[in-house]
Structure 1
Amino acid sequence: MPLIQVLNASPASTDKKRELLAALTATYADVMGIRLDTIRVVLHEVPRENWSVAGVTLADSGQNEAV
């Protein structure tokens, strides 16, 4: 039973999360040739102040969340 874990620092709407989870599941099933109901996906949303690039948090960097 495959488990896909996704770490995401940008908040997303419920609709976008559903779209992402469905697309990840469908793509994995297609590539690996397995049934959709055997795949598990966990989406971890990390607060931007807990994620950094080059020692600067995303919250402090001014980086656009859509990037």
Structure 2
Amino acid sequence: MDILEVMDWLSEQGCCAVFKADGERTPGTRWMVIVSGGVLGKDSVFRTDQPSPDACLQDLLDHLEAAGLSPFA
């Protein structure tokens, strides 16, 4: 599963999701994912800043698993 598939699943769950690459940031944090609302809860926000898209995806999947959620179910 890739980041776009996870973002599609999140949108189906009522979440807002942003996946961003920012070349103006330092190399260690050029990629960012922010997810809010939906199944995470009305006032819940998850954000991770990482050096790669894969690291962002892994952080997001870990967060979802800790919350008892999975796009693989």
Structure 1 length as normaliser, TM-score?
0.34
Structure 2 length as normaliser, TM-score?
0.31
